[in-house]
Amino acid sequence: MAHRADDANAHGVGARVVSALVLAPVALGLAYAGGAAFNLLVLVAATLMAYEWERLCRRGAAPAGAARAGGLWLAGGAVYIAVPCIAIIWLRADETVGRETVFWLFAVVWATDVGAYFAGRGVGGPKLLPRISPGKTWAGLVGGVVCAALVGAAAAALLDLPSHAPLILVSALLAVVAQAGDLFESMVKRRFKAKDSGTLIPGHGGVLDRLDGLLAAAPVVAVITVFSGQGVLAWR
Protein backbone atom coordinates (compact mmCIF):
# COMPACT_ATOMS: atom_id res chain seq x y z
CA MET A 1 0.00 0.00 0.00
CA ALA A 2 2.88 2.35 0.82
CA HIS A 3 4.39 1.76 -2.61
CA ARG A 4 1.07 2.57 -4.25
CA ALA A 5 0.79 5.81 -2.29
CA ASP A 6 4.34 6.77 -3.24
CA ASP A 7 3.63 6.00 -6.91
CA ALA A 8 0.45 8.10 -6.79
CA ASN A 9 2.31 11.00 -5.18
CA ALA A 10 5.11 10.77 -7.75
CA HIS A 11 2.57 10.72 -10.57
CA GLY A 12 0.82 13.76 -9.08
CA VAL A 13 4.08 15.71 -8.80
CA GLY A 14 5.04 14.72 -12.34
CA ALA A 15 1.70 15.90 -13.71
CA ARG A 16 2.05 19.21 -11.87
CA VAL A 17 5.54 19.76 -13.28
CA VAL A 18 4.50 18.96 -16.85
CA SER A 19 1.45 21.23 -16.59
CA ALA A 20 3.59 24.06 -15.24
CA LEU A 21 6.18 23.64 -18.01
CA VAL A 22 3.43 23.89 -20.62
CA LEU A 23 1.32 26.67 -19.13
CA ALA A 24 3.93 28.96 -17.57
CA PRO A 25 5.68 29.89 -20.86
CA VAL A 26 2.30 30.69 -22.43
CA ALA A 27 1.30 32.95 -19.54
CA LEU A 28 4.71 34.66 -19.44
CA GLY A 29 4.84 35.08 -23.20
CA LEU A 30 1.45 36.77 -23.38
CA ALA A 31 2.20 38.85 -20.28
CA TYR A 32 5.36 40.01 -22.04
CA ALA A 33 3.40 40.91 -25.17
CA GLY A 34 0.70 42.73 -23.21
CA GLY A 35 -2.12 44.54 -24.97
CA ALA A 36 -4.92 42.58 -26.61
CA ALA A 37 -3.04 39.27 -26.39
CA PHE A 38 -2.71 39.43 -22.62
CA ASN A 39 -6.25 40.72 -22.19
CA LEU A 40 -7.53 37.78 -24.23
CA LEU A 41 -5.61 35.37 -21.99
CA VAL A 42 -7.23 36.89 -18.92
CA LEU A 43 -10.67 36.78 -20.57
CA VAL A 44 -10.28 33.10 -21.45
CA ALA A 45 -9.12 32.30 -17.91
CA ALA A 46 -12.04 34.27 -16.46
CA THR A 47 -14.53 32.42 -18.67
CA LEU A 48 -13.16 29.03 -17.64
CA MET A 49 -13.20 30.00 -13.96
CA ALA A 50 -16.77 31.26 -14.23
CA TYR A 51 -17.77 27.94 -15.82
CA GLU A 52 -16.09 26.00 -13.00
CA TRP A 53 -17.69 28.19 -10.34
CA GLU A 54 -21.14 27.72 -11.89
CA ARG A 55 -20.59 23.95 -11.91
CA LEU A 56 -19.61 24.02 -8.24
CA CYS A 57 -22.75 25.96 -7.36
CA ARG A 58 -24.90 23.62 -9.43
CA ARG A 59 -23.27 20.65 -7.72
CA GLY A 60 -24.42 22.02 -4.39
CA ALA A 61 -27.91 22.87 -5.60
CA ALA A 62 -30.58 22.01 -3.03
CA PRO A 63 -34.38 21.66 -3.17
CA ALA A 64 -36.70 24.61 -3.42
CA GLY A 65 -35.95 27.33 -0.91
CA ALA A 66 -32.23 27.38 -1.67
CA ALA A 67 -32.57 29.35 -4.92
CA ARG A 68 -31.76 32.61 -3.18
CA ALA A 69 -28.63 31.17 -1.58
CA GLY A 70 -27.57 29.74 -4.92
CA GLY A 71 -28.03 33.12 -6.55
CA LEU A 72 -25.88 34.75 -3.88
CA TRP A 73 -23.12 32.20 -4.46
CA LEU A 74 -23.23 32.86 -8.21
CA ALA A 75 -23.17 36.63 -7.71
CA GLY A 76 -20.33 36.31 -5.23
CA GLY A 77 -18.42 34.18 -7.72
CA ALA A 78 -18.82 36.84 -10.40
CA VAL A 79 -17.20 39.41 -8.11
CA TYR A 80 -14.58 36.93 -6.90
CA ILE A 81 -13.43 36.30 -10.47
CA ALA A 82 -14.03 39.67 -12.15
CA VAL A 83 -12.26 41.96 -9.65
CA PRO A 84 -8.86 40.17 -9.79
CA CYS A 85 -9.05 39.87 -13.59
CA ILE A 86 -9.72 43.59 -13.95
CA ALA A 87 -6.94 44.30 -11.45
CA ILE A 88 -4.31 42.32 -13.33
CA ILE A 89 -5.28 43.84 -16.69
CA TRP A 90 -5.03 47.28 -15.10
CA LEU A 91 -1.63 46.49 -13.57
CA ARG A 92 -0.27 45.24 -16.91
CA ALA A 93 -1.49 48.40 -18.66
CA ASP A 94 1.01 50.53 -16.71
CA GLU A 95 3.46 51.66 -19.40
CA THR A 96 6.27 52.15 -16.88
CA VAL A 97 6.44 48.89 -14.90
CA GLY A 98 3.33 46.98 -15.96
CA ARG A 99 5.15 44.05 -17.54
CA GLU A 100 7.63 43.75 -14.68
CA THR A 101 4.83 43.96 -12.12
CA VAL A 102 2.89 41.08 -13.68
CA PHE A 103 6.06 38.98 -13.99
CA TRP A 104 6.87 39.66 -10.33
CA LEU A 105 3.30 38.89 -9.26
CA PHE A 106 3.31 35.59 -11.13
CA ALA A 107 6.70 34.69 -9.65
CA VAL A 108 5.60 35.48 -6.10
CA VAL A 109 2.45 33.38 -6.35
CA TRP A 110 4.25 30.48 -8.03
CA ALA A 111 7.10 30.60 -5.49
CA THR A 112 4.53 30.60 -2.69
CA ASP A 113 2.89 27.47 -4.10
CA VAL A 114 6.22 25.68 -4.58
CA GLY A 115 7.61 26.67 -1.19
CA ALA A 116 4.42 25.71 0.62
CA TYR A 117 4.20 22.37 -1.19
CA PHE A 118 7.74 21.22 -0.52
CA ALA A 119 8.02 22.63 3.01
CA GLY A 120 4.67 21.11 3.91
CA ARG A 121 5.65 17.70 2.57
CA GLY A 122 9.24 17.81 3.78
CA VAL A 123 8.72 19.22 7.27
CA GLY A 124 5.09 18.41 8.01
CA GLY A 125 4.07 19.30 11.54
CA PRO A 126 0.94 21.01 12.85
CA LYS A 127 -1.91 21.58 10.43
CA LEU A 128 -2.82 25.13 9.48
CA LEU A 129 -6.61 24.82 9.21
CA PRO A 130 -7.38 21.08 9.11
CA ARG A 131 -11.16 21.53 8.88
CA ILE A 132 -10.78 23.52 5.68
CA SER A 133 -7.68 22.00 4.08
CA PRO A 134 -6.23 18.95 5.86
CA GLY A 135 -3.02 19.02 3.82
CA LYS A 136 -1.95 22.59 4.69
CA THR A 137 0.63 23.00 7.48
CA TRP A 138 2.26 25.88 9.32
CA ALA A 139 5.57 24.73 7.88
CA GLY A 140 4.08 25.10 4.40
CA LEU A 141 2.96 28.64 5.20
CA VAL A 142 6.46 29.55 6.36
CA GLY A 143 8.03 27.89 3.32
CA GLY A 144 5.75 29.84 1.00
CA VAL A 145 6.54 33.14 2.73
CA VAL A 146 10.29 32.51 2.59
CA CYS A 147 10.24 31.63 -1.11
CA ALA A 148 8.11 34.68 -1.95
CA ALA A 149 10.46 36.93 0.04
CA LEU A 150 13.39 35.53 -1.96
CA VAL A 151 11.55 36.41 -5.17
CA GLY A 152 11.09 39.93 -3.83
CA ALA A 153 14.80 40.19 -3.05
CA ALA A 154 15.72 38.91 -6.52
CA ALA A 155 13.31 41.35 -8.20
CA ALA A 156 14.68 44.28 -6.19
CA ALA A 157 18.22 43.33 -7.20
CA LEU A 158 17.33 42.92 -10.88
CA LEU A 159 15.57 46.29 -10.91
CA ASP A 160 18.45 47.88 -9.00
CA LEU A 161 16.16 49.33 -6.34
CA PRO A 162 18.03 51.36 -3.71
CA SER A 163 16.26 49.54 -0.87
CA HIS A 164 15.29 45.87 -1.11
CA ALA A 165 13.33 45.73 2.15
CA PRO A 166 9.97 47.17 0.91
CA LEU A 167 9.66 44.72 -1.99
CA ILE A 168 10.76 41.80 0.20
CA LEU A 169 8.11 42.70 2.78
CA VAL A 170 5.37 43.15 0.16
CA SER A 171 6.29 39.83 -1.45
CA ALA A 172 6.13 38.06 1.92
CA LEU A 173 2.75 39.67 2.60
CA LEU A 174 1.47 38.51 -0.77
CA ALA A 175 2.50 34.95 0.10
CA VAL A 176 0.15 35.06 3.09
CA VAL A 177 -2.59 36.60 0.92
CA ALA A 178 -2.09 33.96 -1.79
CA GLN A 179 -2.31 31.14 0.73
CA ALA A 180 -5.43 32.72 2.21
CA GLY A 181 -6.88 32.66 -1.31
CA ASP A 182 -5.98 28.98 -1.57
CA LEU A 183 -7.72 28.29 1.75
CA PHE A 184 -10.79 30.25 0.66
CA GLU A 185 -11.15 28.14 -2.45
CA SER A 186 -10.67 25.00 -0.35
CA MET A 187 -13.49 26.20 1.90
CA VAL A 188 -15.75 26.73 -1.13
CA LYS A 189 -14.97 23.26 -2.48
CA ARG A 190 -15.66 21.73 0.92
CA ARG A 191 -18.95 23.62 1.03
CA PHE A 192 -19.95 22.05 -2.28
CA LYS A 193 -18.35 18.66 -1.51
CA ALA A 194 -15.90 18.81 -4.42
CA LYS A 195 -12.26 17.72 -4.44
CA ASP A 196 -11.26 20.01 -7.34
CA SER A 197 -12.93 22.85 -9.18
CA GLY A 198 -12.43 21.00 -12.47
CA THR A 199 -10.22 18.59 -14.38
CA LEU A 200 -8.77 20.79 -17.11
CA ILE A 201 -5.19 20.97 -15.79
CA PRO A 202 -3.50 17.61 -15.02
CA GLY A 203 -2.08 17.54 -11.52
CA HIS A 204 -3.80 20.78 -10.55
CA GLY A 205 -7.51 20.19 -11.11
CA GLY A 206 -9.30 23.17 -12.56
CA VAL A 207 -8.33 26.71 -13.50
CA LEU A 208 -9.67 27.98 -10.17
CA ASP A 209 -7.43 25.48 -8.38
CA ARG A 210 -4.42 26.84 -10.25
CA LEU A 211 -5.24 30.56 -9.93
CA ASP A 212 -6.77 30.82 -6.45
CA GLY A 213 -3.66 32.47 -5.00
CA LEU A 214 -3.41 34.93 -7.89
CA LEU A 215 -7.09 35.85 -7.52
CA ALA A 216 -6.37 36.94 -3.95
CA ALA A 217 -3.01 38.63 -4.58
CA ALA A 218 -3.78 40.70 -7.70
CA PRO A 219 -6.38 43.00 -6.07
CA VAL A 220 -4.04 43.61 -3.13
CA VAL A 221 -1.25 44.75 -5.47
CA ALA A 222 -3.75 46.98 -7.30
CA VAL A 223 -4.90 48.56 -4.02
CA ILE A 224 -1.31 49.14 -2.89
CA THR A 225 -0.58 50.75 -6.27
CA VAL A 226 -3.59 53.06 -6.01
CA PHE A 227 -2.82 54.22 -2.47
CA SER A 228 0.93 54.57 -3.03
CA GLY A 229 0.39 56.53 -6.22
CA GLN A 230 2.80 54.40 -8.27
CA GLY A 231 3.55 50.82 -9.22
CA VAL A 232 5.10 48.68 -6.50
CA LEU A 233 8.18 48.06 -8.63
CA ALA A 234 8.61 51.81 -9.20
CA TRP A 235 9.17 52.52 -5.50
CA ARG A 236 12.41 54.34 -4.81
Per the structure, the complete domain to which residue 216 belongs is given by 2-234
The total of structural domains in the chain comes to: 1
Contact residues for 177 (Cβ-Cβ < 8 A; gap 6+): 213, 216, 217, 220
155 close to 107: Cβ distance less than 8 angstroms? yes
At 91-141, the pLDDT tens digits run 999 999 999 999 999 999 999 999 999 999 888 888 999 888 888 999 999
Task: Calculate ∠ Cα 5-9-12, nearest 5°.
Answer: 140
pLDDT at 57: 84
pTM assigned to the model: 0.88
pLDDT in tens, 51-81: 999 988 886 555 544 555 667 888 999 999 9
